Each structure stands twice: as C-alpha cells, then as structure tokens.
Amino acid sequence: MKRLLPLTVAVCLACLAAGCSSTWTRLKATIASPAQHYRDLALAKEKEDRLHEAILLWKAVRRLEAGDKTAEKAIRKLKKTARERARRHFAKGVNAYQQGDFARARLHFLTTLRYRPDHRGALDYLKNRLHRKEQVSYRIRKGDSLSTIAYRTYKDAELAPVIAYFNDLDPGRPIFPGKVLILPTLPAEYLRPPGAIEQLIIEAREKFSRGDLDGALALIGQIEPGSPHYKEARCLADKIYFRQAAELMKHRQFWEALERLKRVRPGFKGRDKAMARARENLKCQAMDDRLKLARTRLEEGAYLEARTVVEEILASEPGNQAAKSLMDAINYAIANQLLAEGKDQEAIAVLETIDPAYEDTAVLINDAQLRLNAAAETHYRNGVKYFLNEELELAIEQWQAALRLNPNLDKARRDIANARRLLEKLEALETGAYR
C-alpha cells in the first residue's frame, strides 16, 4: 500500500481538479478492494441518511468478505435505526392527523415511508385517508333496507336505487346483514333540498339515532295530521314510542312502558309481543311488591299483617313458592313470640302449620309439648291433693286444667269421672236420696 500512496494522491488531485465525483468513485475503486469500495460507499450513504442503500451495500460487503463482522453489525444497526425512525415519524404523523394538521401529518408519513417503504399504515394515510373519499363502505345491519340506508346517508330514501346501482343489486330484492355496500359520496348540488317538514323529520331522525327520544318526539309533534310526510312522521313516532317502551322495560317501569306501547299503532312489528311481556311483568311486579311488603312487615314485627298479605297471595296463587316460604317464616316468628310469652299450646298450634323441616320447628314443638306435659302433671297432682282433702270440685278443676294442657292424660279424665260420681253420691246423701 505504501508504494501505492503517491499514486493515490496523484489520482485524488487529478480527480478533484476535474471535479468529477463519479470519476473519483471509479478511480478510488481502482486502488481499493471491491469490499473496501462498497464499505466506503455504504458509509457515505449512511452519512447521507440513505439507510436502505447503505444496508444493501453492507450486504454486498458481507457477501464479498464472508468473515467481516463489521458488515453484519452495521446491517443490524442500520435496520434498527430505520425501524425506530419510521416508528417515531409515524406516531408524529398520526398525532398531527388527529389534530387536523394534514400538511405536517403528510410530512411525517412521507418520512416514515422513506425509512420503511413497506409501512402500510403510512401508505394508507398518504394514499387514502389524507384524500377526500368519494365513497365509503357500509356493512348492512339487521333491519336495514336500501331505503333506510339511503335516507341515513343522503337524507333521501328515494336514492335507494343509486345504492343498488353502485352495488349491482336488484332494488326490489331484500338485502342481508353482513354484506358490505359501497355508498358513493354525492355532491351536494345533486341532492334534493328537503322542505320544512322533511327537515323536521330529518332532525327528528337524527335526534332519534342519537338517543334523544324526547327531542325527536317534540319535533314530530309539530307535524300536523294530514300534512305531507305525516305518514312518515307517524312511522317515526311509532319507532320512538317503541324504543321508549323498551327503555322503560329495562328499568322495570312496566306500567309506563305499557302506556308507551299503547301509543304505538297496532300492526307495528313487535308491539303485541312487547305489550304481553309488559303485562306479564306488571303482574309479576305486583306480586313481587306484595311479597316485599310482607317481608317488610315481618321485619317490623307486624306478623299478623304480614301473614294476611301472604295469605292473600297464596289465595290467588297457591303454588307461589316464595309466598309459601315467607309464610313459614312469619309463622315461625309468631310461634317464637308465643313461646316467649309462655303460650306453648298456641305456639304448638302455629308451629304445626309450618313445614317441619323449616329451621328448628320440630325441636320447638317437642320442647313446648314437654313443657305442657309437665304443667299438666302439676295440675294433676294438685287435683289429687284436693281430692284427698275431699275438695272434689277443686280437684276436678285442676284435672280439667291438666287435660287442657295434655288431652292424652287419661288418668285425669278417669279421676274427673270418679270425682263427679262421688259428688253425685254426696249430693244424694245430702238431699236424702240415699235411704
């Protein structure tokens, strides 16, 4: 190389004097290996920010000098740089686009594409989104017709055949949800200017589509029966009332929903079914309200009032399980109250009306019965004491009390009979019947 140095200098000077860059490139190449030549060229391209050219030239270097690791490293670095710059500019472009600064957005998308020519997003913005669209696509939804789509798009249902034309459809045949239609943008001068009433309907439709149902109804209300487009307005009113009813049903305001449905003209699709559903819900709701009332009364301790309400429900609907369960709860509460008051016998009577499996009903009945039996036994013994003291009438009272508490206490029944016989004999002796 040392021997070549003077030659190199001479060539450089000659080339500079000639002012010819391509000659310089070639002459430079004569004194360097092809790989070195492309390495230099790659670095120059990189400096000029022509990253893809630099990458390709580094690939040539790699191909010419298989062991050269600098080439591999440079390719990786340049690819990464290109990717990162593209990402950064694309983000800036989207941001500018969203802010409505389309010139700046275009600049960044162009830069993105320069760093990444295959960047689909940037290309889409440049070729499509930054241009005014002469047509849009629309996916057919359930309930759509060409007329409704035409109305929504052009405010003129009579333009349905235009949509049919652009989509090669027969305007007389139904369309199916899911199909994508092309809707051309029609220049404003081609569209029929709407009249005052049509304008009202258009505005009402817009309010309706935005969910402002009351606003839409207010506008529709301005259109007198018999005026042009009244039929159209009435159809829209039906839709509005129906939608209002649906909203009210969602909030369980069935009565109000039914009122709205009554305003929808008969024959409107879904009206009858919705009314039946509202009535059914109303009935259920009435039942629910009464059950709720009974539960409230139970919680307040107004057991008898609660029981009256539930009894009424069960009278009209004997199979109502919720009412039955509530009745058990009420009776259970009443029974406990009676037990607390020491009214075991009444408590047992109430407890016996409850499902034995409810809470500890069976145990309560048993305990109350044992207490009654013990009290009956006490009365019985008191009766015996009176009997032994020959106070027969008092004895009978005690045994009768025992029997009231325990009707199965046969010995009390026998002793009462015996005591009564003795009383009769004593009475006979006193009156002289015994002689």
Chain contacts with other proteins (rule: CB under 8 A): 21-22, 25-26, 29-30, 32-34, 37-38, 41, 44, 48-50, 52-53, 56-57, 59-60, 63-64, 106-107, 110-111, 113-114, 117, 123, 126-127, 130-132, 134-135, 159, 161-162, 165-166, 182, 184-187, 189-191
C-alpha to C-alpha distance for 412 and 395, rounded to whole angstroms: 10
Min. distance of Cβ 40 from other proteins in angstroms?
Answer: 10
Min. distance of Cβ 35 from other proteins in angstroms?
Answer: 10
**Alpha helices for 101-253 (secondary structure H):** 102-115, 120-124, 146-154, 160-166, 196-210, 213-220, 230-250
Min. distance of Cβ 233 from other proteins in angstroms?
Answer: 25
| Residue whose C-alpha is closest to residue 242's, from 216, 212, 265 | 265
Min. distance of Cβ 134 from other proteins in angstroms?
Answer: 4
From residue 83, alpha-carbon distances to 70, 72, 123, 248, 289 in Å are 20, 17, 15, 55, 66
Residue 135 phi/psi, 5-degree rounding, is -155, 155
Min. distance of Cβ 56 from other proteins in angstroms?
Answer: 6
Min. distance of Cβ 256 from other proteins in angstroms?
Answer: 44
On whether the CB atoms of residues 115 and 87 are closer than 8 A, the answer is no
Q: Kindly report the CA angle at 38 between 37 and 41, in degrees rounded to 5?
A: 90
Closer of 107 and 423 to other proteins (Cβ): 107
Closer of 59 and 252 to other proteins (Cβ): 59
CB atoms within 10 A of CB 50: 15
On whether the CB atoms of residues 347 and 338 are closer than 8 A, the answer is yes
Q: In Å, how far from its chain's centre is CA 323?
A: 31
| Residue whose C-alpha is closest to residue 50's, from 70, 78, 12, 90 | 78
Closer of 63 and 421 to other proteins (Cβ): 63
Closer of 119 and 297 to other proteins (Cβ): 119
C-alpha to C-alpha distance for 191 and 346, rounded to whole angstroms: 86
Min. distance of Cβ 69 from other proteins in angstroms?
Answer: 18
